[in-house]
Amino acid sequence: MIDSLEAQFAIAAVREAARLTRRVQREMVTPALVKGDKSPVTVADFTAQAIVAKRLAEAFPDAKLVGEEDASDLTATDEGRSTLAQIQHFLESAAPGATAEEVCQWIDRGNDPAEGTFWTLDPVDGTKGFLRGDQYAVALALIDNGRVELGVLGCPELTGAATPKAGGPGSVLVAARGQGTWVSSTEPLDEQWTELHVAPTSDVAQTRIFRSVESAHTNTGQLGQLATAMGVEADPIPMDSQAKYAVLAAGGGEMLVRLLSAKRLDYREKIWDQAAGSIVVEEAGGRVTDLDGKPLDFSHGTSLAANRGVLGTNGKVHDAALEALRAIGA
């Protein structure tokens, strides 16, 4: 098991954030929620970033954090101030008596520059999954000079990193460079850890491909072409968020891919969307590259500017996938 001070902090912080986001989901995502209302995930995003930033300041006061959120909108309008009050409400159990100013300061700790050694956080990865009561993830990673050295994923709706289970114990995964990938539950005192390994499947036809439930996230038509070009016969696995990385690391599938949407060919992935998940898969024995087979380069600020898309596999079907990507011009 990985027991560095950085890993201990990250595991505890992600567990706490995962439990808070689950509480927000339970209390705010109700049948009465108006379609298109994203306020629950907004509250969950800010709440998770606030608590992780607070815990980081306590554990490593000089550490840098690059987060997805900033607090400017929370004080500019009546709607923002109402959201801030909800965030304070959910933080009360973790940070009793926290003032609005303190909460905003914690959130804005995530505005550090993405350079040198820093942490990066996606407080709720998988907006639609969160709102459906389905898969989402809290993703925290430590990056050192462009390379991910430590990653933690909190997946409240996964059990054992591989089995979707709403309301179950959840999963927290930790991976460190050269030390493997391990899974436990989101319970704060759970010290039962199991090492994860990707699926041994080498038969390309049996490749189980993760497909985003949210179609805007990838080129769905081209994904079908890719599967055909590879000769895939296995049924795809519908799943959003970095929870896909967790299931891939646990052997519950063989391949995930982020193709470029036809409407956004110049899009480049954000670092917080890929950092934690990529090392979780790599340390479980898998392989993660871009669509051209290049390693992901986290040295270009907040986006993977030097990479097109993402391909993650169990390693054994990776070359076949790259060949198929070239064949279809992806």
Structure token pair of residue 78: 């009546």
Enter the DSSP assignment of 160. T
Instruction: Identify which of 86, 312, 281, 78 has the alpha carbon closest to the alpha carbon of residue 196.
Output: 281
> 242-269 burial, b if ≥16 CB within 10 A, otherwise e?
bbbbbbbbbbbbbbbbbbbbeeeeeebb
Name 311's bridge partners: 257, 289
On whether the CB atoms of residues 101 and 117 are closer than 8 A, the answer is: no
Please identify which of the residues 21, 45, 122, 240 carries the catalytic annotation: 45
45 is catalytic: yes
181 is catalytic: no
Rg, C-alpha atoms of the chain:
19
Name 118's bridge partners: 143
Q: In whole angstroms, what is the distance from residue 260 CA to residue 127 CA? A: 19
Structure token pair of residue 136: 């989402």
On whether the CB atoms of residues 209 and 238 are closer than 8 A, the answer is: no
- E strands within the chain? 65-67, 117-125, 137-144, 147-155, 158-159, 163-164, 171-176, 181-184, 194-195, 209-211, 237-238, 255-258, 287-289, 310-313
Which active-site residues does the annotation give?
Answer: 45, 127
